[in-house]
Amino acid sequence: MLDLLALQKQFILSHITEGDRVCDFTMGNGYDTVFLSNAVGETGSVTAFDIQPSALESTSANLRQNGCPANWRLICASHHRAKEFVKEPIKAGIFNLGYLPGSGNKALTTERRTTLPAVESAIDMLDIGGVLLVAVYPGHPEGAAEGRELTEYFSSLSRFKYSITQIRIINSPDSPFFTVVERAK
């Protein structure tokens, strides 16, 4: 079976090196933030976003418990406001859409009204040769709608400026899938 998380990390690692600037646009419990922090090392920087204070607390604890370098900044704000906080191009970004795992609150999810503007901004923030990963969870109504809207948006982008690949399990339509957006060099 294909391990989607391992594949996502492989895509990210093929685009970043120590010292790069990266973003976790949907911090959650911080697993992607930890991965990014370690990947860019002490000279890199990670900015992570979430609207839930509990996500910042969980991520901060996770970063410390994993001995991550002090290269991270956690922002309690919606991902669609990222450009207010990150002023320079990024080499990589991750969106892991849906709800905060372990919170017990499946009603509080990412929403199309902020997700699409956030993804558009993130793509605009990508440095030459940068990569953006967007994981979608279509098993709930908002996730399915997000997936359709994002796929339509990605389809509209210039193939001469971006290479966009979608990885999904065809015979399991409610399974998570992800899209890789690579900015041309």
| pLDDT-above-90 percentage for the chain | 71
- For residue 172, the model assigns a pLDDT of 87
pLDDT tens figures, 160-183:
999 999 999 889 888 889 999 999
- For residue 12, the model assigns a pLDDT of 94
pLDDT tens figures, 34-81:
999 999 999 999 999 999 898 999 999 999 999 999 999 999 999 999
What CATH number does the domain located at 4-183 have? 3.40.50.150
- State how far the Cα of 95 lies from the Cα of 185, in Å rounded to an integer: 22
- For residue 151, the model assigns a pLDDT of 95
Residue 95 β-bridge partners: 134
Average pLDDT, the chain: 91
Residue 24 β-bridge partners: 48, 94
- State how far the Cα of 169 lies from the Cα of 122, in Å rounded to an integer: 25
- For residue 99, the model assigns a pLDDT of 57
- Which amino acid, 146? E
| pLDDT-above-70 percentage for the chain | 91
What's the Cα-to-Cα distance from 171 to each of 26, 57, 150, 174, 176, rounded to whole Å? 27, 38, 20, 9, 12
**Secondary structure string (H, E, C) spanning the chain:** CCCHHHHHHHHHHCCCCCCCEEEECCCCCCHHHHHHHHHHCCCCEEEEEECCHHHHHHHHHHHHHCCCCCCEEEEECCHHHHHHHCCCCEEEEEEECCECCCCCCCCCECCHHHHHHHHHHHHHHEEEEEEEEEEECCCCHHHHHHHHHHHHHHHCCCCCCEEEEEECCCCCCCCCEEEEEEECC
CB 145 within 8 A of CB 106: no
- State how far the Cα of 42 lies from the Cα of 70, in Å rounded to an integer: 7
